[in-house]
Structure 1
């Protein structure tokens, strides 16, 4: 027998092990990810969106990306933190993260998916709703609201990170979410005041660490603080991993 033939079963076994290691959920769930542009100050936070996509990919999820085909509230020069004179389109900017593979949110069919994920970034509070301007008195983009409510009515899990949980607080009744801590704690939680606004909306805020996720089992809503915490990116990545993992568990 040739050496190659002798080694073939061993190689095949190692390949199967490798696939199992890197794809912990081979029975893939179909997950819709809603983006809000590209860039922390006026769109989806790029590290958060990327973390969502990496964790979903590693779990074997079949991902489709969507974004509203609308103008951004404004466009920020990220080198200065100041508005620019030109404005941009949320769908067009989201295509940068999606590597071009993104559809208008008006095209989403909740019946075709098992779960929904919305990364944070100021775009969630500026483009998907206007929380950044009106706080708890904000209104949610109609396509975003109808999408969240459709998934919820079908009892499909929804994951939110960073500031995006305010969308759950505005769209859903008696929901539990987290944006981290309720006190700034010396600047570690610079957006801690958001928790009070969430409770004003009638939702319940749960204190969690950046590496944790909260599961509202009744509503099938999973949230994680992400960059509501001023800390290292790997901690945000780990927290989003918890959120994605729990969302996928709820699809089973």
Structure 2
């Protein structure tokens, strides 16, 4: 049977939502691995950033509506997600993870995760189902798994210090590779936290997706 993977998107666009290239690469690789995928997003508003200038516009939009751009309309409110329906969970990066899924961008180590997103991610952790966090989404690992969880955001010493302050164990990693917390079945990759090209980002993302699928298959019996 094909593995069923949930993907949480945080909008559409690196500066105020899900990183588009990371999200599309994730969805492509999942399809190549024969997985059934359902995208989810929180139905909350966010402050829009002009991706040409990098400046906020003063406009507000809905994360769920914007995520539908990436998912080609096939996205559901994260409150509809049930851990029992899926074999694994992946959250691409982008500033939306630090602004819309959490308030990491403004509060750093004192951040909190959106309750609906946290509840779903914790359910996957409790069920010992694999989770993949890429780019800045890995900053949420300590909130999901608690202290001593191992993760990576690449080789940025400043960000690593914040992650360690949150109780996680940060492991430096090249953009084209992954870090796995074997005990917790958590896989992380730096993606555009370190990648200088889409090919470099894709190399790490593909490894993350492949590993999440492999863990899901091992944990749920033969395909």
TM-score, normalisation: structure 2 = 0.95
SS in 1 for 2:153: strand
Aligned to 2:89: 116
Provide structure 1 residue ranges, at least 5 long, that are not aligned to the other structure: 1-26, 184-192
Aligned to 1:7: none
Matched, 1:60 2:34: yes
Contact 2:113 2:143 in 1 (8 A): yes
Aligned to 1:245: 210
Aligned pair partner of 1:235 in 200, 214, 223: 200
Aligned to 1:152: 125
Matched, 1:199 2:164: yes
Aligned to 1:96: 69
Aligned pair partner of 2:107 in 134, 140, 147: 134
CA distance in 2, matches of 1:75, 1:140: 20
Contact 2:176 2:195 in 1 (8 A): no
Between structure 1 and structure 2, the one with the greater Rg is 1
Deviations, residues 153-177 of structure 1 (Å, cap 9, x unaligned): 0000000100000111222122110
Q: After the TM superposition, which segments of 4 or more aligned residues of structure 1 sit over 2 Å from their partners? A: none
Aligned to 2:8: 34
- After TM superposition, give the deviation of residue 230 of structure 1 in Å: 4.7
Matched, 1:209 2:183: no
- After TM superposition, give the deviation of residue 229 of structure 1 in Å: 1.1
Greater mean alpha carbon deviation, residues 225-234 or residues 125-134: 225-234
How big is the alpha-carbon RMSD for the aligned residues of Structure 1 and Structure 2?
Answer: 0.8
Provide structure 2 residue ranges, at least 5 long, that are not aligned to the other structure: 219-223
CA distance in 2, matches of 1:201, 1:85: 31
CA distance in 1, matches of 2:57, 2:18: 18
Aligned to 2:51: 78
